[in-house]
Amino acid sequence: MKLTFLGTGTSTGVPQIGCHCDTCTSTDARDRRLRTSAIVTTDSGANILIDCGPDFRTQILGAGSPELEALLITHSHYDHTGGIDDLRPYCKGGRHFPTYCTADVAADLRARNPWSFAKHLYPGVPTFAITEIRPFEPLTIGGESVLPLAVMHGQLPILGFKFGSKLAYITDCKTLPQASIEAITGIDTLVINALRPQFHPTHLSVIEALDVVEQIHPSRVFFIHASHDMGRHTTVHLPTGIQLAYDGLTIDV
């Protein structure tokens, strides 16, 4: 299995519009953080897209426009779903793009993209085959087992995902229910959000993320969904085995 980080930034992206701070003016490509999204490539070669934010078009062109098997959605915030209309090229020939999300997210998608769910479709609009999923009810995509995890994004219940037995992907977490911690304890690779050193009401800060990591005991960790307050990539110093991911990074799992 492989994981490619398409985007590792928070909702504003980095650089942030109008900001001239040290991070936002960096010329290091690793300090250019598009909105958080990733591709998991299964051992059978299927590419599973996790979230589809407003930077999707740029991200997928940068990744070489690979075939996509399905979309898994963590939650319906704009930075995670704002790009679904750009899945249009993947819907050629009447394909309904396989999309996995909770019932609440499905309702949000239908409300925000009515042209894709209308009775009489305008020619060429992207269409979706939505499968409603729930935490801890396993599914199989591209020959790989996927277990949705319960994650709390402040007061909002969202999903994380465990792929096979080795990889867990969690974004926009503030707290992790005990059942989710137990489902991924001792996992090989943990991808989890860490927004910035400072406290935030709905996202884990660095210190809080390190505390969650300690409870899970993964072999290695990649932090995602970082804001400009995280600082430049070269100035972020984390304990051994934990690193800040960056856009375009691909890891073998």
Shortest CB 69 distance to Zn ion, Å: 23
Binders of Zn ion among residues 46 to 65 (CB under 5 A) are: none
Q: By three-state DSSP, how is residue 149 classified?
A: strand
Stretch that binds Zn ion, among 134-142, 204-212, 215-223, 224-232 (CB under 5 A): 224-232
Instruction: Report the candidate in 69, 9, 15 with the shortest Cα–Cα distance to residue 43.
Output: 69
Site string for Zn ion, 94-113 (x = CB under 5 A): --------------------
Helices (H), 82-172: 103-112
Q: Is 198 exposed, middle or buried (0-12, 13-18, 19+ CB in 10 A)?
A: exposed
- The 184-223 site mask, x for binding Zn ion (CB under 5 A), equals ----------------------------------------
Give me 137's structure tokens: 């009810």
Local structure of residue 33 (DSSP, 8 states): B
> Which amino acid would we find at residue 62?
G
> Which of 77-85, 104-112, 184-192, 237-245 is the region at the interface with Zn ion (rule: CB under 5 A)?
77-85
Judged by CB under 5 A, which stretch of 37-45, 70-78, 139-147, 245-253 contacts Zn ion?
70-78
Residue with the two structure tokens 């990591």: 213
Among 32, 174, 228, 233, binds Zn ion (CB under 5 A): 228
Report, in Å, the least distance between residue 48 CB and Zn ion: 19
Q: How far is CA 47 from CA 22, 34, 205, in A?
A: 35, 20, 30
The answer to whether 56 touches 83, Cβ cutoff 8 Å, is yes
| The binder of Zn ion chosen from 172, 187, 192, 204 (CB under 5 A) | 172
Residues lying near Zn ion in the complex (CB under 5 A) are found at 11, 16, 19, 21, 24, 77, 79, 172, 228
